[in-house]
Amino acid sequence: MGRRLGLLLLAGLLVVLTACSSNNSSTATNGNGDSEGKTTTLKFFHRWPNEPRNSYFNYIKEEFEKQNPGVKIEMESVLNDNYKEKIKVLVSSGDIPDVFSSWSDSFAESLVSSGRVEDLTSMFDSDKDWAGTLVQNQLKSFTFDDKIYGVPFTMDGKVFFYNKKIFNKLGLEKPKTWDEFIALLDKLKAAGYDTPIIEGLQDSWAVGHYLGTMNQRMLSPEVLATDYAVGTGKFTDPGYLQVLKYWQKLTKYMGPNATSVNHEATRNMFIAGEVPIHYLQFAELGYLKDKPDLEFDYFNFPQFSEGKGNAEGLTGAPEGFMISKETANKELAEKFVKFIVSPENAAKFQKDVGSMTTVIGAATEENSPPGTLGAIEVIQNAAETTPWLDNAVDASVADAFMRGGQAIAADIETPEEVLKEVQAAAAKLQAVKK
């Protein structure tokens, strides 16, 4: 009986040991994940499931695994708004991916405030050679309380692209002021372009790109800083109402169907030469190269005569990567981020995707769409940069602006009604703050 009991106990012990070995298979013991033949799994979550970025990140996953035996990158991606919601839920719940993409500025700050995002300052300080390859003015968008919480990868700016052939034929020049801009649109209409400017207002973020820039041009930096901060915003300055009235006027030049189509569709209309002007990101230059006979140039958003903001400011912000403070594989996570944000892979991203990165020298005439090097110079030399509206303010306030902007374009609401909704959203935040 004793011998039989001993055998049973031995068998049970072997089962337990086997189970423990299995459970530890994803626990890293060094930066390569190859200790004792075990597999280290690194969870990576990003917002680019569409081509060509999807193929690029599949390459990154496979190449990193190839160069680091014993490492498995568990990758997941969802698009834009769904990503915003999901990453916030994951961070608040504590179930955070080891590495994840993030917008900058207030969006990044909201994640940092959870206390679950890793401070990466030492990552920059300990590897000056790598840190020195990045455009330094892009770091501030991920810096809070003098600590760096994200590695910027893509950088961008938003300007009005225009069809040079149409402008040259009609003898038109780039406008510098709002009044000149409206006069330009009137001339295009008179020349037979019923829709002289276009935007896919079905996408609320596209509305936000306009209104965020217009707020920056109209309001003083001090007013914006107070109103954009959570808990102190009131949005009572008369400049906000004037912006919404100017927005109402501008949408009348976008045709009757602007609220029924998305940004991609209207961008294709511009590429096809159907409309003379479109508000585009430099990141979209890659799409324009598919139409070799399209001759284009661009100009910054014009200044309002009564505007108090910097007329030379540029709307745009970097996106990048963050690391979970709760990761069991910090060294490996840092290695993975550096692998993505490296000169070699940034150059591949530029060539394959056509979008600019923060890595100095990654873009060349050979691997970039026409206009890229000039765009990089514009971003690097901008007097100041303004983040996208939905990155600059709380989500509830941004939504009130963006949904309200759609309602104004559709003649469903007045600028006065929309501003009241913005003010109400801000008031709720103040109540929560108290």
The domain boundary residue, chosen from 357, 372, 406: 357
Q: Is residue 11 part of a domain?
A: no
Q: What is the DSSP letter of 302?
A: P
What pLDDT shows up at residue 286? 86
Q: Which residue has the higher pLDDT, 430 or 308?
A: 308
Is residue 178 over pLDDT 80? yes
The residue to which tokens 């979008």 are assigned: 355
Using only the alpha carbons of the chain, give its radius of gyration.
25
CA 233 – CA 297 distance, rounded (Å):
37
Decide the pairing of beta strands 143-144 and 296-299. Answer: unpaired
- Same domain as 116, residue 43: yes
Q: Which of 27-41, 247-261, 266-280, 405-419 has the lowest mean pLDDT?
A: 27-41
Q: Is residue 379 part of a domain?
A: no
- Same domain as 353, residue 259: no
Q: Is residue 249 part of a domain?
A: yes
Determine contact, residues 338/130, Cβ cutoff 8 Å.
yes
- Say how far residue 224 (Cα) sits from the centre of its chain: 20
Q: Is residue 366 part of a domain?
A: no
Tell which residue, 289, 355, 367, 368, has the closest CA to residue 318. 355
- Same domain as 297, residue 199: yes
Encode pLDDT of 133-168 as tens digits. Answer: 999 989 999 999 999 999 999 999 999 999 999 999
DSSP 406-429: HHHHTTSS-HHHHHHHHHHHHHHH
Q: Where are the beta strands (DSSP E) in 9-157?
A: 40-46, 71-77, 99-103, 143-144, 147-148, 151-154
Average of per-residue pLDDT values in the chain: 91
Q: How many domains does the chain have?
A: 2
Encode pLDDT of 210-256 as tens digits. Answer: 999 999 999 999 999 999 998 899 999 999 999 999 999 999 999 99
- Same domain as 214, residue 341: no
Determine contact, residues 243/218, Cβ cutoff 8 Å.
yes
Is residue 29 over pLDDT 50? no
- Same domain as 347, residue 310: no
Encode pLDDT of 286-322 as tens digits. Answer: 898 878 899 999 999 999 999 999 999 999 999 999 9
CA 357 – CA 155 distance, rounded (Å):
6
Q: How confident is the model at residue 22 (pLDDT cuts 50, 70, 90)?
A: very low
Determine contact, residues 274/253, Cβ cutoff 8 Å.
no
What spatial distance separates the first Cα and last Cα of the chain, rounded to whole Å? Answer: 72
What pLDDT shows up at residue 10? 39
Q: Which residues of 141-163 are buried (b: 16+ CB within 10 A; e: fewer)?
A: bbebeeebbbbbbbbbbbbbbbb
Contacts of residue 96, Cβ cutoff 8 Å, sequence gap at least 6: 90, 116, 324, 325, 326, 327
Could you tell me where the DSSP H helices lie in 24-79? 53-67
**CATH for 411:** 3.40.190.10
Q: Is residue 4 part of a domain?
A: no
Q: What is the DSSP letter of 177?
A: B
What pLDDT shows up at residue 30? 52
What pLDDT shows up at residue 391? 87
Determine contact, residues 258/201, Cβ cutoff 8 Å.
yes
- What is the arithmetic mean of pLDDT over 79-95? 91
pTM score, two decimals? 0.81
What pLDDT shows up at residue 2? 43
Q: Is residue 118 part of a domain?
A: yes
CA 223 – CA 418 distance, rounded (Å):
19
What pLDDT shows up at residue 423? 98
CA 346 – CA 60 distance, rounded (Å):
11
3-state helix, strand and coil shares in percent for the chain, rounded to the nearest 5: 50, 15, 35
- Same domain as 414, residue 269: yes
Q: Is residue 212 part of a domain?
A: yes
Show the CA angle centred on residue 216, arms to residues 396 and 385, nearest 5°. 100
User: In this structure, is the dihedral angle defined by the CA atoms of residues 316, 220, 224 and 422, taken in order, positive or negative?
Assistant: negative
- Domain containing 197 equals 158-316+385-433
- Same domain as 162, residue 105: no
- Same domain as 115, residue 89: yes
- Same domain as 85, residue 170: no
Residue 52: is the preceding peptide bond cis (ω within 30°)?
yes
What pLDDT shows up at residue 430? 83
Determine contact, residues 283/356, Cβ cutoff 8 Å.
yes
Is residue 118 over pLDDT 50? yes
Show the CA angle centred on residue 134, arms to residues 81 and 363, nearest 5°. 80
What pLDDT shows up at residue 292? 82
- Same domain as 59, residue 137: yes
Is residue 367 over pLDDT 90? yes
Contacts of residue 220, Cβ cutoff 8 Å, sequence gap at least 6: 308, 309
Q: Which two tokens stand for residue 385?
A: 């940069």
Determine contact, residues 279/173, Cβ cutoff 8 Å.
no
- Same domain as 417, residue 273: yes
Determine contact, residues 426/234, Cβ cutoff 8 Å.
yes
- Same domain as 337, residue 304: no
Q: Is residue 14 part of a domain?
A: no
